[in-house]
Structure 1
Amino acid sequence: MSRSLLNCPAPAKLNLFLHVTGRRADGYHLLQTAFQLIGHCDALDIVSRDDGIIRRCNDVAEVPEESDLIVRAARLLQNHTACKYGADLTLHKHLPMGGGLGGGSSDAATTLIVLNHLWETGLSRQQLMQLGLQLGADVPFFIFGTNAFAEGVGEVLQAIVTPDCWYLVIEPGVQVPTPVIFSAKELTRDTKPIRITDFSSHSKMFGKNDLQTVATAMFPQVDAAIKWLSTYGDARMTGSGACVFCAFPDEASADKALRQVPDCWKSWKAKALHKHPLDYLLQT
């Protein structure tokens, strides 16, 4: 049995569009979105243990060990499969929290994927996705392994082909709490549902982010970043914020814009990915 996998990537995602189409009786919002994997990642070092103990081996700012999604993911898989092994988990955090990039969900998905391999628990991709949904609505997407058109609360997924491009991402310097945005009375929840073919046949950026109007009203820093980046193309917010992004046809044009970003914001570029870097570890 393999004992460890180090520097395991947990990639960020962008929401190329995000429409809120309704609300269920339990309060969860019904969404339609297109998830895009990008090559900017957290990283995890995961070492299997024989004694059943699961622990995080480093401090992560603002995230207590017991509530960390990587610890919860490991324990969920351990309990679900009655596995006798444990794990030492070290999380190298590069993605901002409260950024709308899915960092915590991606960390959890990478933990499930890698431990399913190291512990030889033998769950299929679909079984891991169902398990991951208990941790958060975005977790199944990262296990799904490819860019996806998503519906429901984000867990009903269909594979899509997205353009080869580069993205410039700006971190406006604020954390946007997802519950605050979704509970805002100003949020419209009645965008007309679309079909996947409506998105796939669209050559340019499709739709909009229904959460953006609410977030920019509450957080002027997000609004300022979108307005600045809009001089280069169709800039928009990802998820419930705070990060904003714009697509560029090649790395050189992304680099050129990156050099112009005001020093008050952290910014970076990332290549569009077509598959999750750990997809090879998953059984269909």
Structure 2
Amino acid sequence: MDAPSFIMVTAPAKINLYLGVHPRKDERGYHRVDTVMTAIDLADTLAIAPADELMVRTVPEAGFPMEENTAYRAAVAMGEAFGREPRFTILIDKHIPIKSGLGGPSTDAAATIKGICHLWKIDPADERIDRVARSIGADVPFFLYGPPAYFTGAGDIMREVFRPLTGTPVALVKPLDGGVSTGEAYAHFDADPQDLPELDPMLAAMREHNEASIFAHIGNNLAPAACALMPEIGTIMAWMREQPGVRAVEVSGSGASVFAVCDTQMAAEAIALSALNEHGWWAQAAKMEKSGPNIVVG
């Protein structure tokens, strides 16, 4: 069979159902992080095609050098791990906002890794793949697979996988302009550490697939740092808690996105429309899903 002329890879976003940052750091200088993440159906799309040299472009165009893009770094790391030249053109159609806490750079890196695995006929379970993923960013290993999962270490070591919460509606809202950098959020946390949310009840609820208990134990002790750095996030959280059909509200990751778990998709869409039309915020209705990167051969 002839090699495909290109492949399309979807790169889904994530939300953190639980995020607990510990004050102490490991020998690498990283905080210990416990997190439970789930993928959602908001996604970037990558087109990957063989080429004479490695080139990465984004739509809309990124405001930083190509070499700093996580997809570029992932391709380079794959080449180094497998002793091959990563000669690809990678075009990323961006839908996940940057600095939003939704994992855009990490999922783009994971989609690049999975795409190159497909083109180079590498088993994604090869132990080198996990090392490549972790070298790019803490969230990248999660995006390689897709089901809801509990990660520890620096947030990069998978401990447990759970049944998907497929179809659960969520509304996503963030300030229209700007975002929160992960580094700034952690620096603020270091200056003002916050107590850890309870982890065991969340893990028990995920194991039991008890949705009421899962959503009752959503927590994020990095959220106060995000709100301090961008007070509008706190305004959005308060507003979302007042909306009908909302089961739980929390900041995703280090922000700037706030998510609301909703009773119905109609409620999620109503919140997104109101946030956009009445407040001028970026907003999107979405659903939780179970998939990691999905490859379509061109």
The TM-score, its normalising length taken from structure 2, stands at 0.85
Tell me what 1:176 maps to: 180
Task: For residue 210 of structure 1, report the CA deviation from its aligned partner.
Answer: 0.2
Correspondence list, 1:87-98, <5 A: 87-98=88-99
Q: More helix per residue: 1 or 2?
A: 2
Amino acid aligned to 1:167: V
CA RMSD of aligned residues (A): 2.3
| Cα gap change, 1:143 to 1:39, in 2 (>3 Å) | same
Give the secondary-structure state (helix, strand or coil) at the position aligned to 1:272. Answer: strand
User: Which of 218, 238, 252 is equivalent to 2:252?
Assistant: 238
Post-superposition CA distance 1:176-219 (Å, at most 9, x none): 01111112211226566537325544524114110111211221
Give the secondary-structure state (helix, strand or coil) at the position aligned to 1:40. Answer: strand
Give the secondary-structure state (helix, strand or coil) at the position aligned to 1:83. Answer: coil
Tell me what 1:215 maps to: 226
User: Which of 243, 261, 264 is equivalent to 1:250?
Assistant: 264
- Residue ranges of structure 2 left out of the alignment (5+ in a row): none
Tell me what 1:197 maps to: 204
Give the secondary-structure state (helix, strand or coil) at the position aligned to 2:122. Answer: coil
Tell me what 1:63 maps to: 64
Tell me what 1:44 maps to: 46
Give the secondary-structure state (helix, strand or coil) at the position aligned to 1:134. Answer: helix
Amino acid aligned to 1:278: N
- Residue ranges of structure 1 left out of the alignment (5+ in a row): none
Give the secondary-structure state (helix, strand or coil) at the position aligned to 1:21. Answer: strand
Q: Percent identity?
A: 25
Correspondence list, 1:74-153, <5 A: 74-84=75-85, 86-124=87-125, 126-153=127-154
Post-superposition CA distance 1:35-86 (Å, at most 9, x none): 110000111110023x4x2112457322310111111111111121112451
Tell me what 1:25 maps to: 27
| Cα gap change, 1:271 to 1:64, in 2 (>3 Å) | same
Residues paired across the two proteins, number:
279
Contact 2:38 2:288 in 1 (8 A): yes
Contact 1:165 1:247 in 2 (8 A): yes
Task: For residue 31 of structure 1, report the CA deviation from its aligned partner.
Answer: 1.3
Contact 2:15 2:253 in 1 (8 A): yes
Residues in 2 aligned to 1:108 and 1:18: alpha-carbon distance in whole angstroms: 21
Post-superposition CA distance 1:148-195 (Å, at most 9, x none): 111111122211124331110012133101111112211226566537
Task: For residue 26 of structure 1, report the CA deviation from its aligned partner.
Answer: 2.9
Tell me what 2:283 maps to: 267
Give the secondary-structure state (helix, strand or coil) at the position aligned to 2:204. Answer: helix
